[in-house]
Amino acid sequence: MRLAILLSGRGSNFQAIHDAVRRGELDAEIVCVISNRPDAPGIQRAREYGYDTHAIDHKAYADRAAHEHEVLRVLDAARPDFIALAGYMRLLSASFVERYRNRVVNIHPSLLPAFPGVDAQAQALAYGVKVSGCTVHFVDEHLDAGPIIVQRTVDVLDGETAATLSARILRQEHQAYVDALRVLARGVRVVGRTVIRE
């Protein structure tokens, strides 16, 4: 499985995927790592590991479409089977989604469809839920909305803060992302919203 990774920040999910590949727990090759933020710790780490890295700064492009055009040019050249968004803070256009239909994967720190968008962990706390977690899903035209591949739950504890909940969810994210990519490596069919494992 040829895997491209898009990130914007810390890159702990990228790190978890890298670790799983290196340990032989995920049969994949990371063929490129792209960041829209040149100073993202994640892209610096990827560079140290010797991956094909591309810092494509969205601020250097006239508009959203021009930036995405360059991202797509790099992606197409890398010939990925799947594209993993790992903290990539840019919306993808409908034509990007269409071109890589059911091949772009995202991770979100809540049990979707609850709490899409930013600050999902704080949203969950404010709502008072007793269970939250994370979701790995295919990307469609809507925000945090495509077919679900893997979810993992996290209990919300008494006295929880957004920081403590985020940290515990993040540990589950790392496992969930690797699990989801393993599922994809073995093959899936998507029927409506349902992802069926082969």
**Active site residue ranges:** 108
Q: Which residues contact 124 (CB under 8 A, 6 or more apart)?
A: 110, 114, 115, 132, 156, 165
Of 4-12, 52-60, 62-70, 153-161, which segment contacts ligand GRF by CB under 6 A?
4-12
Place of tokens 């925000």: 143
Q: Which stretch binds ligand GRF (CB under 6 A): 53-61, 105-113, 153-161, 185-193?
A: 105-113
Buried b (16+ CB within 10 A) or exposed e, 115-153: beeeebbebbbeeebeebbbbbbbbbeeebbbbbbbbbe
Q: How far apart are CA 162 and CA 50, in angstroms?
A: 34
Q: How many residues bind ligand GRF (CB under 6 A)?
A: 14
Residue 164 C-beta: closest distance to ligand GRF, Å = 14
For ligand GRF, the closer of residues 109 and 146 by Cβ is 109
Does residue number 107 form part of the binding site for ligand GRF (CB under 6 A)? yes
To the nearest whole angstrom, how small is the minimum distance from the Cβ of residue 7 to ligand GRF?
6
Site residues (CB under 6 A) for ligand GRF, limited to 164-183: 170, 173
Structure tokens at 96: 């990007």
Q: Which of 5, 31, 46, 86 binds ligand GRF (CB under 6 A)?
A: 86
* List 109, 137, 154, 178, residue binding ligand GRF (CB under 6 A): 109
Largest Cα–Cα distance in the chain? 49
Q: E strand or H helix at 32, and its extent?
A: strand 29-35
Residue 166 neighbours by CB under 8 Å, 6+ apart: 109, 121
The smaller minimum CB distance to ligand GRF, of residues 52 and 119, is found at: 119
Residues 7-66 that bind ligand GRF (CB under 6 A): 7, 9-13, 42
Q: Which of 37, 45, 108, 152 binds ligand GRF (CB under 6 A)?
A: 108
